[in-house]
């Protein structure tokens, strides 16, 4: 019997309606459209408005749309891996909440925390259950309500992040399409440069932690930028090299959307032309776990069976990685 690969058989995405423009940010903090555009490439981002709504509420329309597209019932899903840095709650897992909301009553699930690299960690993890023959349908969700942990008085972070969610279904493929390889890395010593200081077991919520604004994302931008440029580009080049892929062999680069300058540096290191690079940062900003599946969703109609696709990400923690997949269908 031929080897079973885990192939993406459907993708979908969802972004909330509210558009937070650079012009509106100019009214909140000392910044300018010119600065944001030239330093990051971002023009606007989406924000989930409304009381009592969390990351799972971004995932519900994305997942329901995916099920409809694929023509399957939620009860057919075996496993949900919810990659998020802004879970609905510390517990229960957002995967549980989502399973209940979409009626995935036969699935088990868990949340996966790897910041902006989460979707790559999730795809790689989910693929193991397909390749081993244990499961037939694994749903990998990547989404964040970043607005829930952003301080809109901090110009160094509030201009970057937005809310959004994407998802992909993994199923067995015996024709050789699907995930081919992945390289995933972590370096915990980078946590101090991009993370959230309070709210975990080390520093639970208190009046002091709230007064010190420690429940917001904290980023030392320049340091993160330097690590991101080097590591994301290196890992993308490494996965090409070890799979003997030239730039011509690569149909698409799907980079994490953190900063247009990081995306350009990665593409340049790989030798891949800009028209093969998925970029929607100008409309959504950095949706953390959502960026890569949102790109796949937006470009889905242009993807062809057999396309060699490289995914690459860098995120808080630090985490980074690259996944090489052969696209499995024409839509
Ligand atoms: O997705 C997870 C991984 N995250 C990333 O990959 C993000 C990586 N970092 C970045 O994308 C960039 O570092 C930022 C976009 C966060 C910042 O851009 P930068 O070019 O590194 O700016 P900087 O921090 O070096 O600041 C340059 C100047 C400073 O002013 P002075 O000291 O030169 O007078 C900042 O105070 O720009 C100032 N500045 C701003 N000015 C206008 C910082 N933020 C803003 C702002 N508007 N929003």
Report yes or no on 144 lying in a domain.
yes
Query: Within 13 Å and on the Cβ side, how many CA atoms surround 308?
Result: 14
Q: How far apart are CA 103 and CA 74, in angstroms?
A: 6
Please check whether residues 171 and 203 belong to one and the same domain. Answer: no
Residue 197 lies in a domain: yes
Per-residue pLDDT tens over the stretch 94-134: 999 999 999 999 999 999 999 999 999 999 999 999 999 99
- Is 256 among the residues known to form the active site? yes
How remote is the CA of residue 10 from the centroid of ligand 1, in Å? 36
Q: Could you tell me where the DSSP H helices lie in the chain?
A: 22-28, 33-40, 55-70, 94-102, 118-131, 155-158, 207-211, 221-242, 260-270, 281-284, 291-299
Average pLDDT value for the chain:
97
Ligand 1 pocket test, pick from 42, 85, 160, 221 with the greatest ligand atom count within 8 Å of Cβ, gives 221
Q: Whose CA is closest to 142, among 179, 94, 195?
A: 94
Q: What is the DSSP string of 38-56?
A: HHH---EEEE--STT--HH
Structural domain includes residue 274: yes
Domain that holds residue 148: 5-176
CATH number of the domain where residue 28 is located? 3.40.47.10
- Which of these three, 158, 176, 194, is where a domain ends? 176
Same domain, 15 and 157: yes
- The total of structural domains in the chain comes to 2
50 plus 143 within the same structural domain: yes
Q: In this structure, what is the dihedral angle of CA atoms 284, 184, 70, 301, given to the nearest 10 degrees? A: 50
152 in a structural domain = yes
Clarify whether residues 290 and 267 are in a common domain.
yes
Domain check: are 226 and 322 in the same one? yes
Judgement on whether residues 218 and 271 belong to the same structural domain of the protein: yes
Supply the pLDDT for residue 2.
Answer: 79
Is residue 331 in some structural domain?
no
Q: Are residues 317 and 185 in the same domain?
A: yes
The token duo for 219 is 């980023």
Neighbour-count burial of 134, counting CB atoms closer than 10 A to its CB (0-12 exposed, 13-18 middle, 19+ buried): exposed
Is the per-residue pLDDT at 260 higher than 90?
Answer: yes
If asked whether residues 164 and 23 sit together in one domain, one would say yes
Cβ neighbours for 99, distance < 8 A, ≥ 6 positions apart: 77, 80, 105, 107, 109
| Angstrom distance (rounded) from CA 289 to CA 144 | 6
pLDDT in tens, 20-74: 999 999 999 999 999 999 999 999 999 999 999 999 999 999 999 999 999 999 9
- Residue in the block written with tokens 């009381």: 51
295 assigned to active site: no
Whether residue 216 is found in the same domain as residue 273: yes
d(CA 284, CA 307): 25
Residue ending a domain, choose from 142, 160, 176: 176
- Considering the domain architecture, whether residues 209 and 321 belong to the same structural domain is answered as yes
Strand 218-219 and strand 194-195: pairing? Answer: antiparallel
C-alpha dist (Å) from residue 286 to 66, 131, 315: 22, 31, 11
pLDDT score of 232 more than 80: yes
Residue 160 clears pLDDT 80, i.e. is over it: yes
- End position of a domain, from candidates 176, 204, 236: 176
Which of 39, 265, 318 for a ligand 1 pocket mutation test, highest count of atoms within 8 Å of Cβ? 39
Does residue 245 belong to any structural domain of this protein?
A: yes
- Domain shared by 165 and 37, yes or no: yes
pLDDT value of residue 18: 98
What percent of the chain shows pLDDT beyond 90? 99
116 is catalytic: yes
- Ligand 1 atom at minimum distance from 156 CA: 44
What's the pLDDT band for 163 if we cut at 50, 70, 90? very high
Give per-residue pLDDT as tens, 65-92.
999 999 999 999 999 999 999 999 999 9
* Residue 139 placed within a domain: yes
Going by pLDDT thresholds of 50, 70 and 90, the confidence category of residue 1 is: low
Tokens of 279: 């970029």
Q: Are 127 and 9 in contact (CB under 8 A)?
A: no
* pLDDT single digits (tens) 271-298: 999 999 999 999 999 999 999 999 999 9
Query: What does each C-alpha distance from 50 to 145, 234, 240, 272 come to in angstroms?
Result: 12, 41, 44, 41
Kindly name the residue from 256, 280, 289, 295 that is annotated as catalytic. 256
Q: Are residues 171 and 26 in the same domain?
A: yes
The H-or-E segment that residue 190 falls in is none
pLDDT in tens, 171-227: 999 999 999 999 999 999 999 999 999 999 999 999 999 999 999 999 999 999 999
pLDDT band at 159 (very low <50, low <70, confident <90, very high): very high
- Which residue in the list 116, 165, 167, 295 is annotated as catalytic? 116
Q: Which atom of ligand 1 sits closest to the CA of residue 115? A: 2
Cα separation, 306 vs 329, in Å, equals: 8
Task: Please give the Cα distance from 54 to 16 (Å, whole number).
Answer: 11
CB-based burial, 84-103: b 16+ in 10 Å, e otherwise = bbbbbeeeebbbbbbbeebe
């Amino acid at each position: 019997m031929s080897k079973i690969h885990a192939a993406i058989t459907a993708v979908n995405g969802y972004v909330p309606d509210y558009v937070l423009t650079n012009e509106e940010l100019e009214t909140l903090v000392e910044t300018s459209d010119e600065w944001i555009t030239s330093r990051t490439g971002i023009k606007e981002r989406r924000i989930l408005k409304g009381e009592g709504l969390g990351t799972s509420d971004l995932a519900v329309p994305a997942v329901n749309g995916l099920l409809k597209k694929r023509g399957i019932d939620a009860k057919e899903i075996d496993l949900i891996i919810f990659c998020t840095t802004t879970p609905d709650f510390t517990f229960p897992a957002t995967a549980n909440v989502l399973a209940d909301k979409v009626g995935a009553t036969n699935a088990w699930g868990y949340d996966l925390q790897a910041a902006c690299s989460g979707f790559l960690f999730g795809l790689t993890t989910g693929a193991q259950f397909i390749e081993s023959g244990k499961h037939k349908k694994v749903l990998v969700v990547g989404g964040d309500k970043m607005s829930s942990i952003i301080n809109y008085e901090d110009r160094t972070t509030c201009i970057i992040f937005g809310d959004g969610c994407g998802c992909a279904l993994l199923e067995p493929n015996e024709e050789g399409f699907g995930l081919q390889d992945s390289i995933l890395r972590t370096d915990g010593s980078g946590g101090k440069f991009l993370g959230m200081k309070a709210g975990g077991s080390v520093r639970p919520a208190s009046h002091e932690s709230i007064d010190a604004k420690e429940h917001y994302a904290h980023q030392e931008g320049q340091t993160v930028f330097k690590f991101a440029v080097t590591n994301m580009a290196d890992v993308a080049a490494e996965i090409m090299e070890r799979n003997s892929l030239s730039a011509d062999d690569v149909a698409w680069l799907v980079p994490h959307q953190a900063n247009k300058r990081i995306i350009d540096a990665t593409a340049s290191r790989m030798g891949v032309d800009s028209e093969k690079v998925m970029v929607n940062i100008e409309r959504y900003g950095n949706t953390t776990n959502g960026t890569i599946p949102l790109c796949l969703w937006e470009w889905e109609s242009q993807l062809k069976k057999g396309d060699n696709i490289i995914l690459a990400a860098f995120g808080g923690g630090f985490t980074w990685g690259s996944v090489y997949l052969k696209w499995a269908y024409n839509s």
